[in-house]
Amino acid sequence: MNSEYKKGITPMHLVISGVTAGVCIVLALFAIILVPVPGLPSASGFWIPAGFYFVFTLWFGIWGALGGHIATFIAMGYFSGYTLHIWLDGGLGDFIAPLVTLIIFRALKADPELKTKKDWITWIVSVPISSLVCGLWVHSVNLAFGIITPPFWWIGVVTYFLGDSAAIFIVGTPLLKTLSKYVKASPVYVEGIFS
């Protein structure tokens, strides 16, 4: 008989979030120290963890995104304090952004293995869209908290758009190409968004 393994959300999904968060926290701390951006607190000019949690989201669905969210909040908070602003700003921003890419991939039935032209186009187009959404979110939060003024909002959005996209493409593309096949063959791959 085919094994009646449990469908739906299982402890494995929670483990995915915990382990990916642990990985991304370290990467985030490292990125903040390595490439700080003058003028933007707890930010990094090359947000390495984005490359990871975008890929984790494509492999593990919302659970990868949750890992990225927790990681960003904990890492940014380590330098800037665990404030509501930091949670709404980087924390939630880095939860929403990879979900945008995930939704696009699942809607267009694109393969994270990046085998066909369609897969590549989906990847190349969805990443900048997600980075833009992240930039819009983060700097709207900064505006709402009074850190920046409207003229600087645009500067922040463009910085995020470029910085995040670069990190995701540079780090994420080789991870997807090299490991997606392996992950898809393993029990941890999440085909949908939740399970």
Partner 1 sequence: MALKTFLTYVPKDSKINKIHPVVKVSLLLSINIIAWLIEDPIILFLLFLIIIFNYKIFRIPLYGLKKFLLSTIIILQAIIVSYIFGSKIPGKNIYLILPWGTYVSEMTIIYIIAMSFRFTSMLLGSTLMLGTMRDRDIIYGVTCLHLPYSLAFIINLSFRNMGIFIEDYSRVRDAMILRGGKFSKGSFLEKIKNYIYLAIPLAILAIRRIIEISYAVEAKGFGINKKRSYYHDYSINLKNLILTIFILSLIPLTFICKIYFKIFIFPGVISMLIK
Partner 2 sequence: MFNNQYDIEIENLWWKYATSKDWILKNISIKIRKGEFLGIVGPSGAGKTTLCLCMSGLIPLRSKGLMNGKVLIKGMDTKSISLQKIISKVGIVFQDPDTQLVTMSVEDEIAFPLENMGFSKKEIKERVEEALKIVGLEEYREKYPYELSGGQKQRLAIASILALKPEILILDEPTSDLDPIGKKEVFSILSKLRKEYNATLIVVEHNTEELAKYANRIAFLYNGEIIKLDAPNRFFKDIEFLKEKGVYPPQVSEFFYYSKIGNNENNFPVTIEEAINIIKKEINIENLKNRINQIHNKLYTKKNRELEEEIINVKNLVYEYPDGTIALKGISFKVHKGEYIAIVGPNGSGKTTLAKILVALLKPTNGEVKIFGEDTRNINVSDLATKIGYVYQNPDHQLFSPTVYEECAYGLRNLGFNEKEIKERIEETLEIMGLNGLENVEPFMLSKGQRQRLALAATLVLKPEVIIVDEPTTGQDMKQSEAIMELLNKLNKDGKTIIVITHNMRIVAEHIKRTIVLMNGKIILDGNTREVFSNIELLEEASIYPPQITLFAKELINKDLTILNTYELLEILKLNKIR
Among 38, 150, 151, 187, the residue binding partner 2 under the rule CB under 8 A is 187
Distance between alpha carbon 166 and the CA centroid of its chain, in Å?
13
Q: Does 4 bind partner 2 (CB under 8 A)?
A: yes
Cα separation, 119 vs 43, in Å, equals 30
Smallest gap from Cβ 13 to partner 2, in A, equals 13
Instruction: Give the chain's end-to-end CA distance (angstroms, integer).
Output: 22
Binding window for partner 2 (CB under 8 A); candidates: 36-44, 104-112, 117-125, 174-182: 174-182
When CB distances are held under 5 to 8 angstroms depending on the partner's kind, the choice from partner 2, partner 1, none that residue 102 binds is: none
* Residue 45 contacts partner 1 per CB under 8 A: no
Tokens for 62? 């919302």
Q: At a CB cut-off of 8 Å and minimum separation 6, what does 94 contact?
A: 49, 50, 53, 68, 69, 71, 72, 134
The contact pattern for partner 2, residues 118-157, with x = CB under 8 A and - = no contact, is ----------------------------------------
Q: Please say which residue, 7 or 38, places its beta carbon nearer to partner 2.
A: 7
| Element holding 177 (H helix, E strand) | helix 173-184
* C-beta closer to partner 1: residue 43 or 136: 43
3-state secondary structure labels for all residues of 107-165: HHCCCCCCCCHHHHHHHHHHHHHHHHHHHHHHHHHHHHCCCCCHHHHHHHHHHHHHHHH
Decide whether 7 or 109 has the Cβ nearer to partner 2. Answer: 7
Sign of CA dihedral 107, 173, 138, 140: negative
Q: Of partner 2, partner 1, none, which one does residue 1 interact with (CB within 5 to 8 Å by kind)?
A: partner 2
Residues at the interface with partner 1 (CB under 8 A): 10-12, 14-23, 25-26, 36, 38-42, 48, 51-52, 55, 66-67, 70-71, 74, 77-85, 145-152, 170-171, 174-175, 178-179, 182-183, 186-188
